Structures are given as structure tokens and as C-alpha cells.
Amino acid sequence: MALQIEDREGVICFKGEVCSSHIQEVLTLVSMLVAIDHKVILNLCGLEKGKDILIAGLKNIKKNLADDNKLSFFSSNDENVLLLFQQINNPNDITKLVA
């Protein structure tokens, strides 16, 4: 699936595949967004391929940002999501009794 980029209420969502030949273009786009908006939030959960390379590039951008700019991004894999749902639906979770 080709890379799709969508703005959902201020969060930039990536879906599909990031090819290694397009990583630099995506990183340039993110750099430009940060320069314009000064605060950018990226959702990488929908990426199927190329996530690791993109995250490495985003970390590099984040490291070199000016103090008044902010870049946040998040991602998850299926194992982490399943573990989280198991914890939420755990019948022995005492936090559900406190209400």
C-alpha cells in the first residue's frame, strides 16, 4: 500500500509503506511542518513497512530542533496493543473497583 498522510484534528497520521527511496522526502516534509507549525504530532501506528528507518530519521530531526519547536511521534506494534487490551480487560484489576 502506498504511503498515505492525513491530518486528523492536528495529528498527522501515516498509513501504508514508506519506501527507503522516499524516506528523505518524508523527513523533509516533517521538517517543513515543524518549521511552520512549531509543534507537530505524528501517529505512525498505520505504517506497515519502513517504520524503523523513519523513526531513526525522526529522532535525528528531533535532536536538532530549535528550543521553540516540538516534534512528538508515537507508534505501536501489535504485541504492545494486545498486551494493553489484556491489561485493560483484566477482571482482577483492582483499579476498576475504585469508582
Structure confidence by residue, pLDDT tens digits, 5-52 = 999 989 999 999 998 888 999 999 999 999 999 999 999 988 988 899
* Cβ pair 69, 39 in contact under 8 A: yes
Give first-to-last CA distance, the chain, whole Å: 44
Domain count along the chain: 1
Are 42 and 73 in contact by the 8 Å Cβ rule? The answer is yes
The DSSP output letter for 20 is T
Is the predicted pLDDT of residue 98 greater than 90, yes or no? no
17 strand-pairing partners? 49
- The confidence score (pLDDT) of residue 12 equals 93
CATH number at residue 67: 3.30.750.24
List the domain range (segments joined by +) for residue 40: 4-96
